[in-house]
Structure 1
Amino acid sequence: MEKILIADDNQNITNILKDYAQREGFDVYVAEDGERALQLVAQHRFAMILLDVMMPVMDGFDVCKSIRSHSNVPIIMITARGDDYDRIMGLDIGADDYIVKPFVPAEVMARIRAILRRIGHTQNANILEIDSLMVNLDEYEVRIDNEPILLTKKEIEILWTLMEFPNRVFTRDNLLDKVWGTDYYGDSRTVDSHIKRLRSKLDGKGSMGWAVATVWGLGYKFEVNHNAS
Structure 2
Amino acid sequence: MFKILIVEDEEKIRVELQNLLNRYGYEALTLDDFHEVDQQILRIQPHLVLLDINLPEMDGYMICRSLRQQSSIPILMVTSRSSDLDELMSMSLGADDFITKPYNVQILLAHIQAVLKRAYPQDQGRLLEVNGVTLDLSKGCVLHENQSVELTKNEIRILWLLMRKQGTIVSRDEIMTDLWQSEEFVDDNTLTVNINRLRRKLESIGVSPDYLSTKRGLGYRI
Given that 1:33 and 1:57 are in contact with CA atoms closer than 8 Å, whether structure 2 keeps it comes out as no
Indicate the residue corresponding to 1:110 in structure 2.
110
Q: Which residue of 2 aligns with 1:80?
A: 80
- Which structure has the highest helix share of the two? 2
TM-score, length-scaled by structure 2: 0.52
**What is the match of residue 4 of structure 2?**
4
1: CA distance, partners of 2:106 / 2:125: 17
Do residues 69 (structure 1) and 61 (structure 2) align? Answer: no
The offset of 1:75, in angstroms, is 0.5
Letter in 2 for 1:59: D
Gap change, CA 1:124 and 1:37, over 3 Å in 2: closer
CA RMSD of aligned residues (A): 2.1
Long gaps (5+) in structure 1: 126-135, 137-229
**Superposition misfits of 4+ residues, deviation over 6 angstroms:** none
In 2, Cα distance between the equivalents of 1:85 and 1:34?
A: 24
Equivalent-residue separation in structure 2 for 1:33 and 1:86 (angstroms): 24
The 1:17–1:49 alpha-carbon spacing in structure 2 relative to 1, beyond 3 Å, is: same
Change (3 A) 1:115 1:55: same
Residues 90-130 of structure 1: per-residue CA shift (max 9 Å, x gap): 110011111111112222111111111123153599xxxxx
Deviations 1:157-185 (A, max 9, x none): xxxxxxxxxxxxxxxxxxxxxxxxxxxxx
Paired residue type of 1:57? E
Residues 1:121 and 1:75: Cα distance change in structure 2 (over 3 Å):
farther
Structure 2 matches for 1:2-81, cutoff 5 A?
Answer: 2-32=2-32, 34-81=34-81
Specify the SS of the correspondent of 1:95. coil
- Structure 2: where are the runs of 5+ without partners? 127-138, 140-222
Q: How does 1:35-184 map to 2 (within 5 A)?
A: 35-119=35-119, 120=121, 122=123
Query: Structure 1 residues 65 and 83, CA, compared in 2 at 3 Å: closer, same or farther?
Result: same
